[in-house]
Every structure is written in structure tokens, then in C-alpha cells.
Amino acid sequence: MASQSKPKLDVSVSKPTPYTFDLGLLLANDPNPLSTSTPPESTSTEPAGSSAALEAQLAATARDGAQALINQLLTTLPLATTTSGVLLTLPPPTTALPREKPLPAPKPPTKWEQFAARKGIKPKTREQRRAKSRTYNEETGEWERTWGYDKGGAKKRREEGMVQQDWLVEVDEKKEREEKEAKRKRRKA
């Protein structure tokens, strides 16, 4: 069973007005007008005004544009062969693409940002915050958190069955009495 194959089309594309290219965006711009009212004569059996003939004309125009872009890429850009395949290095784009919306206006500084600018206060870096959040425990030889979850390696000690280091705290009776009296005074006032 022999299947009929389509004839191979020519690799070179010729147009009355040449394409313009922006290889950085992989863009081929065809300035030639596209006639949708009278499609060119085709070798197919469809009538000249049918939508199938128009689709065939649009497909041929799209194929010519893609072929011209590929020809331009392969002839003007440097090729590099690597273990993952053949690579093309694209140049930076030359066509400026418009934004959908204008750039947002810069936000006015907050009161804190104004104060910080006046006083010369700068935010801490990641390294400064990390250095403050962990301390080195010489007994265990590990870095432990100084606050928050697993403070001082408490989780690890619990898992190992170690007793909490401050399990016994002496109560100063004099301070206790003073605190109770201060609470009573606050309640009465």
C-alpha cells in the first residue's frame, strides 16, 4: 500500500517586499499584503472562493514565514554543538513590546521608612539575622536556635530522654509576696 506524499516545498522564500526579523523574539514580520478576497489559484479541487481555499492560502503564508525565520536563524547566528545537542545563541530583542498598562506610580515612603532614612537605619542582612538566631553550644558541638521552635536543642534532648536543664527553680518568697501585693494594688486602683 503506497501512500501518496506531498511534494517537498522549496526552502528559499521569495516575496516582493522582504521580511523584517527580530531574532531575539523569534519574530518574522511580513509587510506584504494578504488578499483574503481572491485566493490564488491552487492545485486542489476546491472552488476559488471557498473557506478551504482561504485556509490553504493562510497555511502557505504561515509556512513561508516560518521557513524564512528558520533560514535567517541558521544563516546569521552562531551554532554551538554540545552533548545535549546543537544550540543557537539568540541576540537581544530589538523590537520594544508595549505594556498592557502604564508603569505604577512609586509608592510614597511610610512613616517608618522616613524615620529610618533620617536616622540612617538600614535593614539587617540575612547573615546578620542568622548569626543572631543561632548560638554555638560547646557541650554538644552544634549550632542551636536561640528563640522559637526547638530553642536550645530542646527537641533533640527530649527525644534522647535527657532531663530539662532548669527542672528545679528556687522560689524567692520575698519576691513572691511583693508581686502579690503589687497585683492587689493594681486591682484596687
* CA–CA distance, 81 with 69 (Å, rounded to integer): 21
The stretch 148-170 carries a mean pLDDT of: 74
pLDDT, tens only, 67-84: 999 999 999 999 899 999
Residues 131/135/140/142 CA torsion (nearest 10 deg):
-10
Residue 111: is its pLDDT beyond 80? yes
Q: Grid coordinates standing for 118?
A: 533620617
pLDDT, tens only, 85-96: 989 999 999 988
Residue 152: is its pLDDT beyond 60? yes
Q: Using an 8 Å Cβ cutoff, are 87 and 79 in contact? A: yes
At 81 the three-state DSSP class reads: strand
Q: Using an 8 Å Cβ cutoff, are 48 and 39 in contact? A: yes
Residue 125: is its pLDDT beyond 60? yes
Strand partners, 96: none
